[in-house]
Amino acid sequence: MAYSRQVIMGVLMAAALCACKSNKATTYTSDCAAGVAFKQVNFTHLIDSIKYYDKQFVEVTGRYLEDKHVSALVNDRTFTDHGNSHALWINFTQDCPLYQSNTHRGLFETEDGEYRKINNKLMTLHGRIDVHKKGNGQSYSATLDEVSYVQLH
């Protein structure tokens, strides 16, 4: 009986490890903010207290939305307002190129050289809040500038 319990536990642990590997997040980094400490902030708290975080470096998680004139991070919760006034404009810039360290592939680059679509992806970002820049149409809460870290979940 003890032997079969050990075998079952081993199989369960192996299955758990395989499941973790298949859900592995992809991370892109830049050297733009090397040595900077980022404040981990809940998305709702960040939007509610946005003026407090002006010019500060933050880490925030949300759902990224992209379109022809959209580059925004919204709350991942289904019961919250996802309008522009409750979203962050995300300013990806060539001044802070984001690459995977193991492949040196850029954030928006696919294996075949095409443009990677990351619309509606859950992601964690590092960047600096600027409440004076409010994105396209000046309708967002603030801009997340100097993005130096992106983790796609």
- Interval 98-131: pLDDT, tens: 999 888 788 877 666 666 779 999 999 999 999 9
Residue 147 resides in a domain: yes
Q: How far is CA 43 from CA 27, 55, 114, 131, 153, in A?
A: 20, 16, 31, 15, 16
Cα angle 26-32-35, degrees, rounded to a multiple of 5: 90
Is residue 117 in some structural domain?
A: yes
Mean pLDDT (whole number) for 60-71: 94
Q: What pLDDT digit, counting tens, does each position of 20-43 carry?
A: 444 578 999 999 989 999 999 999
Is residue 90 situated within a structural domain?
Answer: yes
Residue 16 lies in a domain: no
Domain that holds residue 43: 25-152
Check pLDDT > 70 for residue 14: no
Mean of the per-residue pLDDT values for the chain? 84
Count of domains observed in the chain:
1
In a domain, 135, yes or no: yes
pTM for this predicted structure: 0.79
The CATH number linked to 58 is 2.40.50.140
34-36-42 Cα angle (round to 5): 125
